[in-house]
Amino acid sequence: MKDAPLLSLRDLSISYRGPSGRLPTVRSVDLDVRPGEIVALVGESGSGKSTIAHAVTGLLPPGARVDGGAITFGGLDLARLPERAFRQVRGARIGFVPQDPGVALNPVQRIGAQVAEALVVHGLAGRRTARGEAVALLDRAGLPDPAVRARQYPHELSGGMRQRVLIAMAIAARPDLIVADEPTSALDPTVQKVILDHFTRLAAESGTAVLLITHDLGVAADRAHRTAVMARGELAETGPTARVLTDPRAPATRDLLAATLVPDSPPKPPPASGGAPLLVAEGLVKEFRLGKAPVRAVDEVGFEIRRGETLALVGESGSGKSTTARLVLRLSEPQAGRIVLDGEDVTRHRGERLRLLRRRVQLIHQNPASSFDPRLSVLDVVTEPLRAFGIGDRAARAERARELLEQVALPASALRRRPAELSGGQNQRVAIARALAVSPELIVCDEPVSALDVSVRARVLDLLAALQEETGVAYLFITHDLAVVKRIAHRVAVMRTGRIVETGTAQAVFDDPRHEHTRALLAAIPGARLDRTPDPTHR
């Protein structure tokens, strides 16, 4: 690999216009991508990695500005290329795969026309021929029935299919470089794996270089020849993927690695509890009406949770796991089935009896910020359950709030702030403090870390585990992420299309999965080859 670099960033600095002056987002970054090479640019949100992707494709939003440095590509300095000239490069010599296929396609235009446009704007096909070529491109991108799909609209395709359409557009003009900005992070893990496999194989076949932007070190480990890690706008470290992963030199890399690696030691076992389980769910059914036909979101679901243990309810989007959580919380009424808490059937509790149930079962939301009344301070948020149950006077409640904040490792000064002023991780700690306020026996955690950055994610999970040890609370942990499960769960229930397909201890489910869906989920965890280099025969 001694070729001259295809793309090279030298001392690149980019800033955004902020409310008070310019905010530097990217600071003197140097990076090379050689022909045919896959380079992963890894970092947390706000690290500047997406800004680099936009600068390379000339799609910086208004308000962003290249302050210094150069982006050299095929003899051109992209940082100073006028917009009109950039249009000859964009799409023709640099392809772009955007994130979130759900919104990246024009909803009112047929798939075929959108793919054809990538050829037509560069004069690579006429109006007539473009249609056929679009179908061929969709076929290359691995879309089944490409001729049929070309006549459909984006909303008629699944997320994975739409991502393949976006890939077809990116490869249309046979570019030398494709910039892929988190191309699969909005997809379910099993779909993510298939698409990334296909995408990297296409790139290898045509000798196209790829700049792969991702927050997931696991994805980088599986795909990239070289990996560059970004933190706070600066390049923390860069090198061959194998070296970066096995011998990380920058603290930022080590943080990312620690958060991504599945821990060797499973969570501490729950205290042996004799007697009846804390919560039993039996034969829960919830149907929704979609148009005429009722859809069973939850279909005969049953499980047990013992005191002090964590049961993970795992499934991809639409599997019914969140609906199950709402049923357990009694925020939604099941059509059939029973929920028994500590030997007492609570399925039909209403009014005051239902309210008293809230002292024993609490909730942590996926998006903590939206679960806080925007008018309230952190103190008001944390003490809300105490107020509701008339526990203590004002001073006692404030004292308890300080205690709770200390438990979740937040400074007491945060009490006077508003949730909007805190970061996502801090907000999730506030939500945990609120859930703990009335010392519940069970907390339902609905995807509590999926909106957080990976490094923050690990810390919040560790906090939840520590709190469990301290207070003996049980968790019903809803998640789509098996890496998270391994870190925290004692037992696992795998859901698919409203049904539980497999239940067992975490150990058993990971080591000896029975159901094929469980096996597919396990195989799709990125970073399985974290300690190996990408297979050179791949190229």
Partner 1 sequence: MRLYVLHRMGQAAVVLWAAYTVSFLILVLLPGDAIAALTGAGGAAASVSPERLAELRREYGVDKPVLVQYGTHLADAVRGDFGASFATGRPVGSLIAEALPQTLTLTLTALALALVLGAGVALAATYGSRPWLRQLLLSLPPLVGSVPAFWVGLMLIQFLSFRFRIFPAFGDDGWRGLVLPALTLAVPTAAIVAQVLARSLTTALAEPYVRTARAKGAGPVRVHLRHALRNASLPALTVAGLLVGGLLANSVLVETVFSRNGLGRVIVAAVTAQDVPVVQGVVVLSAAVFVVVNLIVDLLSPLVDPRIVLTGTGGRT
Partner 2 sequence: MTTSLLRRPGLALSVLVVALVVLAACLPGLLAPADPLRGVPEQRFQPPSASHWFGTDELGRDLYARVVHGAALSLKATLVAVAVAFVAGGAIGGVAGFAGGRIDGVLMRAVDVLLSIPALFLSLALVTALGRGTLNVAVAVGAASVAAFSRVMRAEVLRVRQAAYVDAARVCGVRWGGVLFRHVLPNARGPVIALATLDLGTAVLAVASLGFLGYGAPPPAPEWGTLISGGRDYLANAWWLSTLPGLVVVATVLSLNRIARALDGERLHR
User: Which of 408, 420, 328, 412 has its CA nearest to residue 371?
Assistant: 420
Minimum CB separation from partner 1 for residue 152, in Å?
A: 9
Question: Judged by CB under 8 A, which stretch of 279-287, 304-312, 350-358, 510-518 contacts partner 2?
Answer: 350-358
Encoding tokens for residue 392? Answer: 């203590």
Q: Report the partner that residue 109 touches, choosing among partner 2, partner 1, none (CB closer than 5 to 8 A by kind).
A: partner 1
Nearer to partner 1, 111 or 483 (CB): 111
Nearer to partner 1, 208 or 428 (CB): 208
Nearer to partner 1, 166 or 476 (CB): 166
Phi, psi torsion values for 528, nearest 5 degrees? -60, -30
Q: Is 279 helix (H, G, I), strand (E, B) or coil?
A: strand
Q: Report the partner that residue 62 touches, choosing among partner 2, partner 1, none (CB closer than 5 to 8 A by kind).
A: partner 1
CA dist list (Å): 54 to 27, 64, 162, 172, 202: 15, 10, 21, 20, 23
User: What is the C-alpha separation between 294 and 439, in angstroms, rounded?
Assistant: 38
Nearer to partner 1, 167 or 284 (CB): 167
Q: Report the partner that residue 121 touches, choosing among partner 1, partner 2, none (CB closer than 5 to 8 A by kind).
A: partner 1
User: Which of 368, 356, 383, 523 has its CA nearest to residue 441?
Assistant: 356
In this structure, the dihedral spanned by the alpha carbons of residues 349, 350, 355 and 361, taken in order and rounded to 10 degrees, is 40
Size of the site for partner 2 (CB under 8 A): 24
Nearer to partner 1, 117 or 287 (CB): 117
Nearer to partner 1, 179 or 482 (CB): 179
Q: Report the partner that residue 238 touches, choosing among partner 1, partner 2, none (CB closer than 5 to 8 A by kind).
A: none
Encoding tokens for residue 73? Answer: 């590509």
H-type alpha helices, 227-320: 241-246, 251-260
Under the binding rule (CB under 8 A), the answer on residue 276 touching partner 2 is: no
Nearer to partner 2, 199 or 372 (CB): 372
| Residue 363-402 contact track with partner 2, rule CB under 8 A, x = bound | x-x-x--xxxxxx--------xx-xxx-------------
User: What is the C-alpha separation between 205 and 539, in angstroms, rounded?
Assistant: 7
Interface positions, 428-447, toward partner 2 (CB under 8 A): 434, 438
Q: Report the partner that residue 103 touches, choosing among partner 2, partner 1, none (CB closer than 5 to 8 A by kind).
A: partner 1
User: Which of 439, 436, 482, 487 has its CA nearest to residue 459?
Assistant: 487
Minimum CB separation from partner 2 for residue 319, in Å?
A: 21
Binding site residues, partner 1, CB under 8 A: 57, 59, 62, 87-92, 95-96, 98, 100, 103-109, 117-118, 121-122, 153, 155, 166, 169-170, 172-173, 291
> Would you say 260 and 214 are in contact if contact means Cβ atoms under 8 Å apart?
no
Encoding tokens for residue 499? Answer: 């049904």
Under the binding rule (CB under 8 A), the answer on residue 329 touching partner 2 is: yes
User: What is the C-alpha separation between 435 and 445, in angstroms, rounded?
Assistant: 10
Nearer to partner 2, 467 or 485 (CB): 467
Within 10 A of 15 (CB to CB), how many other CB atoms are there? 20
> Would you say 486 and 266 are in contact if contact means Cβ atoms under 8 Å apart?
yes
CA dist list (Å): 476 to 243, 389, 481, 494, 515: 39, 23, 14, 13, 21
Minimum CB separation from partner 1 for residue 111, in Å?
A: 11
Minimum CB separation from partner 2 for residue 323, in Å?
A: 14
Q: Binding residues for partner 2, per CB under 8 A?
A: 329, 331, 355-356, 358-359, 362-363, 365, 367, 370-375, 384-385, 387-389, 420, 434, 438
